[in-house]
Structure 1
Amino acid sequence: MAVGFDKGKTEALEVTATVANPRAFAMDGGGGNAKPFLNISVEGPSIWECYTILNSFLSRETTFSHTQVYLFGEELARQGIEDYLNALIRQREVRRDSGLYVCRGTAKEFMDKNKPLLEMSVAKQYQFMDRMAQVSGLFHNRNIHDYYSTYKNLHSSPTLGLVGVSRGKPEDGKQAAEPLRVPYVAGEVPRTGENKAEYIGAAIFNRDKMVGEINGDENRTLMLLRGDFTVSSFTIRDPKHPNKTVVLRLRQGQRPDIKFKQEEGVLKIYHTVYLEGEFVSIQSGEHYEDPAKQKIVEDAFDRGMEELARELIDKTREKDWGDIFNYDRYYRRELSSWEQWENLNWQEIYNNADIMVDFKTNIRRTGLVRKMVPPYKE
């Protein structure tokens, strides 16, 4: 149901597999209180050697045909995953639409601490979490094909979803949450609950090596700029009442519009993001449902998101992460031959480009309240 890869202690690789327990699903009730799934770890020189070793002590033949997700431990990801990815995509049993994640810490620890409370099958949990990425926008749901196609694209920097084990609080010195910002990565969300598995943020790769990570709001901004965003709720400060908040539920209105223009040897990138949605909450009771006042909220949200986008773009340049926004895929149409594409120094072009991001939000619905009535004053 899930397979994790970590750097081994005595061998090159440690593979952890989450295996369905047939006894737990026995129709005659013979399973009793048997656990629905088991985690088993082996070490070996390669993925498929570990696969063979698994079949030496399990009474059922192991197969990757129904594996929902593959997880790489952080240490292995920073070392490089190309060798392991090549071994996976060549095998017939491995499906390219299986999810691919990076674990903060080790994959083994994450899989051991992952105790789904709402699903009997951990495979179903992983399947549903892929969908939840589209509801929150706070983490990636990339699969093997997504990563591999970006990796082979010559110029883009691949990204993968980030998972981890909850520690119950952010690391020291981390910024507290505030409107529009979700400054947590997996393992740092201040929360309680029995299941310690968390999905938030993204891992950034330079070719096949992990070189950094981004938090929840940065991941949501990344998905908006890429055009991969589906829907999410956003909290902003009330433009007229700074101690209050306004909550919007927004979805992508149309694909982002990206245009290029050369001016005095500098590439200018004009990037427009379109959103539409509705009011969810107006704490102050201000009548923002009025079309004249609605524009105030739209402008405040747009300026806030444009600031987040500029910060993320600057961060990729300062840390030398490269183009994680896939601008190169749009720029490719500006070239006339494969030789030009191969010889293109996109890293330098991206670092020197003047990127202007413009958000255009249209609040089309007010929710179930058309006009907030102010409290009665005697």
Structure 2
Amino acid sequence: MPDFGETTTVQWDSALEAIERCYELGWTDGLPVVPPTEQRVNEFIEHSGRPAGQVVGEIPERRREITVAKVAANAVMAGCLPEYMPVVLTATEAMLDPVFNLVGPSSSMGGSAILSIVNGPICKELNINSRNNLFGPGNRANATIGRAVRLILMNACAAIPGVFDRSVIGHPGKYTYCIAEADQDTHWTPLHVERGFTADQSTVTVFAGESPRQVRAVGHPEPILHALSDAASSLGTNMSTSGSVGDTGIGIRQGQIVVTIAGNSQLWKDWTKAQVKNFLFDHCQRSVADLKAAMVLKGDPESSDHETMIKLIPEPDDILLIFAGGEESNMSSVIPSWGPKVGSTAVTKLVR
């Protein structure tokens, strides 16, 4: 038997009893889980190709070490197939990277969730959905990989609601939040290639984000981009708070954003990703008047406030733009970050 490190071993007489025991032990996200039998967990560990006790990452602030065995047990409970283990492990490694600063988004009252964006050949191999019902139900890989990340957060990283998870509202992405980019259906450079990998490599990008805001617009590029910019610039998101734009001299305090664009890629044949990101960067802004009215900025109103604009995104490359979603309509979405880049920055890791 592999060395699992610290474990809790329980016995049961039936599957139903096992499910109820998992509830009693606090191992669930509120939904029933697959009982993590020793045999099933071992199968997942073997599929990972790594030792059970290998440390994937740690959270020093909580004195937690996350091992391959712990990842495997939670992947089993989430309903994953063993083949999903490399993706779940990669997402776990990425969110435990110090640059991501997991303690921030996982314990904040802001209620963000960890969005996993999968790129590369593994999307087709595992049938990870990048098209219709992108953030919705119906696909095992998306549902269970995203759920595994959440269970790892709760069971291995102590991000337990009411304990370290202090979310005031939260959102459904805290159950599962995993998508793929439809990088084979567009001429745009895939996200992972933009972030330094090759097209034939598979990666996972993790992003601490709010819930998706669906955007509808007339089916032409510029109206779509104007609508996206407006949705991304709304007051009340983490993109336009005193913590992100209150000190206009510190650009890095502003946050990143994920933008998904769906529909027929031919609509965008005359636009590169860089052009789209530059357009959004230029138009994601609010006037000083609006920010003062919302008490984001301090000071008395001045006559020039309506004409003075504050950008809400540090740089064009802080827009994580992906082509994903159904083909039938030119729907889009924006996902504001949990907070400024000094709080958490998206991380991309290679699937091994």
TM-score (norm 2): 0.29
Asked which structure has the greater CA Rg, the reply is: 1
- TM-score (normalizing by structure 1): 0.28
Instruction: Identify the structure with bigger relative contact order (alpha carbons < 8 Å, sequence gap 6+).
Output: 2
Structure with higher helix content: 2
